[in-house]
């Protein structure tokens, strides 16, 4: 088991990303689990920390199984997992209902986490997108595509752990991927942490406030 908790994973990732400090990057976390990881990276690289608000669109009867993902923005970006939609027989109406519910949750989180906080400019910057791990890759892919719309000079995905097959599928979405541990036989992200307790909204808010100071 490679990581004690998300903070340790973040410190190890920060060491692997040290060369990016001279590029004055922006670090973007996928909440909530990616925030403690990204906070360690942002501190080590002296970089601003912000969020990519993305939500998985799950099968109604099996929410953990992703049929897509949606990302916040002036025009929310929706990524569909057509193979899983076909296998599960999810209808367009069912897909739309879950998508809209997740958009509502994104709006709730945006107001609670960010309020009127100004967002960092990403155009022509090096941007590092961080999560606590990757499983199916649906939310990660959606996040990377949404960030790409904002025209960064370089887009980096940084995660502690991921399935080898999913990393290969994400190669075209980022300019560089930094992953500390990848496995052919994966299971779930939480299996690779001693402490994988849920990150609360209050922790996200406190982390952003501390980093801003």
Per domain, the residue ranges of the chain are 6-51+118-212, 55-114
Evaluate whether 6-51+118-212 and 55-114 have a shared fold.
no
pLDDT tens digits, one per residue of 4-31: 999 999 999 999 999 999 999 999 999 9
Q: Which residue stretches of 48-189 are H helix?
A: 82-88, 92-109, 138-148, 164-170
With pLDDT > 70 as the criterion, what percentage of the chain qualifies? 99
Average pLDDT estimate for 64-85: 87
What is the arithmetic mean of pLDDT over 28-43? 96
Share of the chain above pLDDT 90, in %: 78
Average confidence (pLDDT) over 194-199: 96
Is residue 1 over pLDDT 80?
no
Q: Could you tell me the two tokens for 170?
A: 């994400």
Specify whether the CB–CB gap between 85 and 98 falls below 8 A: no
| pLDDT tens profile 124-135 | 999 999 999 998
Q: For 175-191, write each residue's pLDDT tens digit.
A: 999 999 999 999 889 99
Residue range 6-51+118-212 in CATH 3.30.565.10: no
* Nearest C-alpha neighbor of 66 from the set 167, 163, 135: 135
DSSP assigned state of 57: E
The band of 170, judged by pLDDT with boundaries at 50, 70 and 90, is very high
**Protein fold of 55-114:** Ybab; Chain: A; (3.30.1310)
């Amino acid at each position: 088991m490679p990581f004690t908790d998300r903070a340790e994973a973040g410190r190890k990732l920060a060491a692997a990303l040290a060369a990016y400090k001279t590029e004055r990057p922006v670090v973007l976390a996928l909440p909530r689990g990616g925030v403690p990881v990204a906070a360690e990276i942002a501190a080590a690289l002296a970089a601003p920390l912000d969020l990519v608000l993305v939500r998985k669109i799950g099968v109604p009867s099996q929410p953990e199984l992703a049929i897509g993902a949606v990302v916040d923005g002036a025009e929310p970006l929706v990524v569909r997992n057509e193979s899983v939609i076909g296998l599960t027989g999810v209808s367009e109406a069912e897909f739309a209902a879950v998508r809209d519910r997740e958009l509502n949750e994104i709006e709730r989180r945006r107001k609670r986490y960010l309020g009127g906080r100004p967002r960092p400019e990403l155009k022509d910057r090096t941007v590092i997108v961080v999560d606590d791990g990757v499983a199916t890759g649906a939310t990660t892919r959606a996040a990377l595509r949404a960030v790409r719309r904002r025209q960064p000079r370089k887009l980096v995905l940084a995660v502690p752990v991921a399935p080898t097959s999913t990393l290969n599928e994400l190669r075209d979405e980022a300019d560089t991927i930094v992953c500390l541990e990848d496995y052919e036989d994966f299971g779930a992200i939480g299996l690779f942490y001693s402490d994988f307790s849920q990150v609360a909204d209050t922790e996200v808010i406190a982390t952003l406030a501390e980093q801003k100071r």
